[in-house]
Structure 1
Amino acid sequence: MFVTARDGTRLHVEEAGSGTAILLIHEFGGNHLSWEPQMNHFARSHRVITYAARGYPPSDVPDDIDRYSQRIAAEDAVDVLAGLGIERAHVVGLSMGGFAALHVGLIAPERCLSLTVAGAGYGCEKETEDYFRGVSRTVADSFEAQGSETFAKIYALGASRVQFQAKDPRGWQAFADRLATHSARGAALTMRGVQARRPSYYDLEAELSAMTVPTLVMVGDEDDHCLKPGLFLKRVLPASGLAILPKTGHTLNLEEPLLFNLLLAGFLAQVEAGRWGLRDPRANPAQIMRTD
């Protein structure tokens, strides 16, 4: 199935199950197939949708960098919902997809039952922001120069990916094999247009502080450059909770699928029961102990 985004880009969509909708948005190193453990589990109780982002076949790979940006990535998610006739959904994203989910909450909160922002924070830390933008462009160049089949062998062994390999060699190999099939041109344009140009959370504090969509932030404790941004989101988002997964890297939903699904299921149940609200104003972070 394909949905056409507002600029004419065709996006490959898959779905399973029925009921309240869950939209799953994949990371840079993955694609729509990266969500199989969640598709299989949540289709028992929900209508679960995933799609291949632009630049990821079988979705279209536009050749113009101006057709890749953080805003466009969020609009694509909204367009998938619109194309399927879905008014509101739980929006779940990992890494690049987590940024997209958060931005859907900013540009179209009326379409969101909830947000799950998992493993999303690269490039947000001010002390490493310039480095991240530079290394993103280097990664883009490497995909184009070497091709996905060759460069995937390097990219898949990043500092926050080796945890997955150590725990689940077969699962990690399946991830690496999928990465090797990606469009090198699409990966390069996504890196240059989305990753290297997206705004830091810290530059969006006012907007994030005003967003009241129920949000679950999930971070692996060995995904070092997502930990501080995750804590920042917990501090500024009024209706957020933070889950830190122990001895875990970046690829949360595949590295720890049982724990990821358990945390997500509990969150969705609380949201659907109306029990995931704003932070209690009595929980004042300036107070250590009450004395009167």
Structure 2
Amino acid sequence: MNSALRAGCDMCHSARMTRQSKFAENDGIRIHYSVGGDGPLIVAVHGFPDYHGSWDDILPYLEDGYRVAAMDLRGYNLSDQPDDVDAYDIRTLCTDVAAVIRAEGEERAIIMGHDFGGALAWQLAIFSPQLVSHLIVFSTPHPVLFRQEIGANPEQKERSQYARNFQTEGSEDRLSVDKILGIMKLEDEAKIEKYRAAFERSSFRGMMNMYRKAFPKGTGPRPADPDALPKVKAPTLIIHGTDDVALATSGHDNSWNYAENDLTLMTVPGAGHWVHHEKPELAGKTVRAWLDIRE
């Protein structure tokens, strides 16, 4: 990283830019997002269990050169929370991301996602390439590779059992705010309280509906030929913590076979599923440098 960029990041650490709370509307559903910064638009999409504050620790490395819109997925925090399971179809969730892009007056954006948000980011890049200028994914493998990994790797199948448990009726009744916080293993008290407030405002049923509707129920690839899927046109950055307990590092093997443009895979030894929380400086500076050399 050059000295000017380092100075800019350090300055942004000490004086965070003002962020605004906004809503985008998608077919009658309001999607909340927090936006701040100046420059090309990044739409940041969190996973389970999380909310738009997932990205707070890496924003200081981005906001002085990019406009970051961090959204709450439907069902979470300040976004609307429909009960119907069909409202959480993955294609519908992708249109929520598109609605945020439109609300910011843009036709396309840099899409950055983690966990379930990473799955949405892949879907957008594959099936709606006109919306995605650059793709940044934390943790989540390409959808074809993920299904293959579940089928071929017993360890990954075991790691993913929680998601199949979430698909059962009444799984939301077995959740609580404390249980969800326990999954994340947060240590900072101020961050814990922010997450507690966000989860108290969220719909556990909505969270589970995402898994009921969008998570693979079988093993292996879908019947359609995976080679028939369009390759990702956008330059792609994948960041993965090698100690991720939910998603195996091997799930990213051969990601490049599904990329039409350049693809960068960075593994972070010792980091877990929330690598952007555990290693925010490394994650933030990596994203910033990777984007800057492509502008």
Quick check: 2:31–2:74 contact (8 Å CA) kept in 1? yes
4+ residue stretches of structure 1 with deviation over 6 A? 198-204
| CA deviation vs aligned residue, 1:126-175 (integer Å, no higher than 9, x gap) | 23576567532423657522343243255335xxxxxxx5xx55587468
Q: Give the TM-score, by structure 2 length.
A: 0.77
Q: Across the two proteins, how many residue pairs are aligned to each other?
A: 262
Aligned to 2:139: 119
Structure 2 CA distance for aligned equivalents of residues 91 and 110 of structure 1 = 12
Structure 2 CA distance for aligned equivalents of residues 226 and 208 of structure 1 = 23
Note if 1:148 corresponds to 2:166: no
Note if 1:139 corresponds to 2:166: yes
For 1:13, what is the secondary structure of its paired residue?
strand
Aligned to 2:94: 74
Aligned to 1:189: 209
| CA deviation vs aligned residue, 1:98-117 (integer Å, no higher than 9, x gap) | 11111111122122110001
CA gap 1:205/1:52 in 2 versus in 1, 3 angstroms: same
Quick check: 1:106–1:207 contact (8 Å CA) kept in 2? no
For 1:105, what is the secondary structure of its paired residue?
helix
Farther off after superposition, 188-197 or 85-94: 188-197
Quick check: 2:166–2:212 contact (8 Å CA) kept in 1? no
For 1:59, what is the secondary structure of its paired residue?
coil
Aligned to 2:283: 260
Summarize the alignment of residues 1-292 of structure 1 with structure 2, pairs less than 5 Å apart: 1-5=22-26, 7-121=27-141, 124=147, 125=149, 126-127=151-152, 128=154, 135-139=162-166, 144-156=172-184, 170=189, 173=192, 177=196, 180-181=199-200, 182-196=202-216, 205-206=226-227, 210-223=231-244, 225-238=247-260, 239-272=262-295
CA gap 1:237/1:205 in 2 versus in 1, 3 angstroms: farther
Quick check: 1:148–1:179 contact (8 Å CA) kept in 2? no
User: What RMSD in Å do the two structures reach over aligned CA positions?
Assistant: 3.0
Structure 1 CA distance for aligned equivalents of residues 231 and 85 of structure 2 = 31
Structure 2: runs of 5+ lacking an equivalent: 1-21
Quick check: 2:76–2:198 contact (8 Å CA) kept in 1? no
Structure 1: runs of 5+ lacking an equivalent: 158-164, 273-292
Structure 1 CA distance for aligned equivalents of residues 244 and 269 of structure 2 = 10
Counterpart amino acid of 1:210?
K
Farther off after superposition, 228-237 or 10-19: 228-237
Percent identical:
24
Shift of 1:250: 0.5
Farther off after superposition, 174-183 or 98-107: 174-183
Counterpart amino acid of 1:245?
V
